[in-house]
Amino acid sequence: AWENVPIKEIMSAEQTHVRQLWEDPMNFCAPQGEPVGQLQARVLEGWAHILEQHAGQHTLIVTHGGVMRVLAQHLLSLAPEAMNRLGIPYAGMLRLRVDTDHENKHWTTMIGMDGTEL
């Protein structure tokens, strides 16, 4: 229901939903949308698949800001409510480096966000 609706309009018309999104994103679901917890499970499953299938390769993943926020929140071990505080504009970029040790454990470092080096 929020697809293609300007953020300002949602913020003024859907104050209860917006408050829940900011305060408890893991238990939030936009009207007629996907619950954030389900999105996170789907994103992390896809991330694990990418790590397995493309180990040691440079890989470009094109996605939307919600996926980027969920992945960054998880990889940086941030509290769930922190994901909505990550500024990822349209055409933003999240750059990660993944190192893998001899036991196939992955260590992820965020190199840049929104095209800006951290």
Helices 65-75 and 36-53 cross at an angle (nearest 10°) of 80
Q: Which of 23, 74, 80 is nearest to 51 (CA)?
A: 74
In Å, what is the CA distance from 111 to each residue of 5, 64, 77, 79, 83?
Answer: 32, 18, 16, 20, 17
Q: What is the pLDDT of residues 31-81, one digit of tens each?
A: 888 888 899 999 999 999 999 899 888 999 999 888 999 999 999 899 988
pTM attached to this predicted model: 0.78
Q: What is the pLDDT of residues 98-113, one digit of tens each?
A: 988 888 888 888 888 8
Q: Is residue 113 within a helix (H) or strand (E), and if so which, with residue range?
A: strand 106-113
What is the residue-averaged pLDDT of the chain?
87
Task: Go through the domains of the chain in sequence order and give each one's CATH number.
Answer: 7-117 (3.40.50.1240)
